[in-house]
Amino acid sequence: MNLLSTEILLVDKPALMSSFAVVARVRRVLTEQVRERAVKLGQTAPKRAKVGHAGTLDPFATGLLICLLSKGTKKAGEFLKLDKRYEATICLGKTSTTGDVEGEICEYNFVDKAIPNTSQVESVVKKFQGEIEQKVPIYSAVKINGRRAYDLARKGIAAEMPIRKVKIYEISVMDYQWPYLKIDCKVSSGTYIRALGEDIGKALGVGGYLTELRRTEIGKYKVSEAKTLDEVMG
């Protein structure tokens, strides 16, 4: 794929890969193309091309990652506050230390609580639509007294996490087969879907954590328009 004239590249990030790793691979391709062009023109090529991204995805997550190339890296600020849409699968009846599959999984004690039926699940999920308060997950990049929260968490240091107001514009149940609940949601920038999954599990009285997360939209950009990493690597 020719990236020389591209400033905004939409990539469908695969699972089990960090956003940084995706950027590194895109940079490698662009750098090679820039060097080849420089040789043809008799110019001096930079040691490596400029590539960044506009909004990270956790390694276990898939979906839309906006990569910014060359002069496009100066446009990062344009993407920071854009709304996003996700599809998320929540495993009910258990919890995770990180709120997702990357943490330590624990059984949730709900002996006196019946397994919720579809009607109950839909009713609870719908209550999250609108402006809600979220506690920022301890495993996040937010700084607490100058240190990243996830660094404190990994060292077992307790920290009081801030509570933020976020907006859930749309949320609906895509599928529910106990213990798995799949939801679709459009949210404001800064919303933690891991926290949303945990809060839904708590509201149902059975606990929950994310097993899958896929970002399908960022503002006007859609994952259906994105290239796979294999297509980019050519």
Active site residues: 58
Tokens of 177: 């087969």
Beta bridge partners of 95: 106
Tokens of 164: 């933020």
Phi, psi at residue 191, to the nearest 5°?
-80, 130
Angstrom distance (rounded) from CA 221 to CA 51: 18
Angstrom distance (rounded) from CA 91 to CA 111: 17
User: Cβ distance 66 to 219 under 8 Å?
Assistant: no
User: Cβ distance 15 to 60 under 8 Å?
Assistant: yes
Tokens of 118: 């579809």
Inter-CA distances, 234 with 72, 190, 222, Å: 21, 33, 21
Angstrom distance (rounded) from CA 100 to CA 198: 9
- 3-state SS, residue 93: coil
DSSP summary character for residue 99: S
Angstrom distance (rounded) from CA 186 to CA 84: 6
